[in-house]
Amino acid sequence: MSEGIIALVSAYGPLVAMVIAFYFFLYRPQREEQRRRDDMLATLHKGNKVVTVGGIYGEILEIKNNVIDLKIADKVVVKLTRSAISRNITQGKSPQMESEKEWPTEDEKKDEKEE
């Protein structure tokens, strides 16, 4: 190799390595997390139990475009934007699936206690 190429690599090599490291350690994971969040927000539906970015737990009563009616207590309903939802507690479950949830029988409870 010529001395010019060696000088160029030694000067810009660390910079290129830092750009690659930033891509793999910062940008790429952030993009994947944003994609997961967008998917979660897109799949919200009536009956989901969610947590807002402010830490308020509630159940979705209605979704119209970007506005969500969230029941946070008896007779207390607040309107939020879709982006105000931080986490879907019932991720991937429909309200019917929750009501059909099977509870352990008395025999199964006894077996767990014995173990």
The full set of domain ranges for the chain reads: 3-99
In angstroms, the CA 41 to CA 61 distance is: 15
CB burial of 27-64 (b: ≥16 within 10 Å; e: otherwise) equals: eeeeeeeeeeeeebbeebeebbbbebeeeeebbbeeee
67 neighbors 91 (Cβ within 8 angstroms): no
Measure Cα distances from 33 to 37, 48, 89 in Å: 6, 21, 17
Residue by residue, pLDDT tens for the chain (115 residues) are 688 888 888 888 889 999 999 998 989 999 999 999 999 999 999 999 999 999 999 999 999 989 999 999 999 999 999 999 999 998 655 444 444 444 455 665 555 556 5
Q: Whole-model pTM above 0.85? A: no
Residues 6+ apart with CB under 8 A from 48: 59, 60, 88, 89, 90, 93
CATH topology for the 3-99 domain: SH3 type barrels. (2.30.30)
